[in-house]
């Protein structure tokens, strides 16, 4: 197996595990959903509750994982995954900003200070999967 194929499969496994974790532990992801998108947080763009956003996010992650497994769909899935990770960056920025706000805690500051920079290697990893 080529290294690029193994890398795409590893990314698919990570996305699949993340999708499952969104269902098993949705509260972990609540801080990453910007309040402006949440109907239960008085968001101006609130179409769904925070919980609904987290649950709904399992679908693109699961579909991306499946798409990365098959060579014929891998390039499109990798491109979509790159865009998805880039879009999720806005949520991580929002979470870090709130962690440093009046309701933030030292723990939330540490967690989000680590989570935000992880988006860079995730975006690069997804983009690199286009070559396999």
Task: List Cβ<8 Å contacts ≥24 apart for 33-37.
Answer: 33/91, 34/90, 34/91, 34/94, 35/94, 35/98
Integer Cα distance of 111 and 88 in angstroms: 16
Is residue 41's pLDDT more than 80? Answer: no
- Looking at the whole model, is its pTM more than 0.85? yes
Is residue 132's pLDDT more than 90? Answer: no
Decide if 67 contacts 73 (C-beta within 8 A).
yes
Classify residue 2 by its DSSP letter.
Answer: -
Integer Cα distance of 69 and 97 in angstroms: 36
Q: Provide the token pair at 88.
A: 């999720």
Q: Provide the token pair at 26.
A: 């949705």
In this predicted model, what pLDDT tens digit does every residue of 47-85 receive, in sequence order? 899 999 999 999 999 999 999 999 999 999 999 999 999
Q: What is the pLDDT of residue 42?
A: 76
Decide if 81 contacts 15 (C-beta within 8 A).
yes
Integer Cα distance of 3 and 103 in angstroms: 45
Q: Provide the token pair at 75.
A: 């390039």
Q: How confident is the model at residue 4 (pLDDT cuts 50, 70, 90)?
A: confident
Is residue 113's pLDDT more than 90? Answer: yes
Q: What is the pLDDT of residue 11?
A: 98
């Amino acid at each position: 197996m080529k290294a690029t194929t193994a890398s795409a499969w590893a990314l698919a496994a990570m996305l699949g595990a993340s999708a499952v974790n969104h269902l098993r532990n949705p509260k972990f992801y609540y801080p990453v959903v910007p309040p402006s998108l949440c109907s239960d947080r008085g968001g101006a763009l609130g179409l769904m509750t925070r919980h609904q956003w987290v649950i709904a996010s399992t679908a693109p992650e699961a579909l991306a994982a499946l798409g990365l497994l098959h060579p014929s769909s891998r390039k499109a899935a990798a491109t979509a995954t790159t865009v998805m990770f880039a879009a999720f960056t806005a949520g991580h920025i929002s979470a870090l900003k709130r962690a440093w706000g009046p309701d933030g805690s030292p723990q939330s500051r540490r967690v989000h200070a680590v989570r935000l920079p992880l988006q860079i290697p995730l975006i690069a990893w997804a983009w690199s999967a286009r070559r396999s």
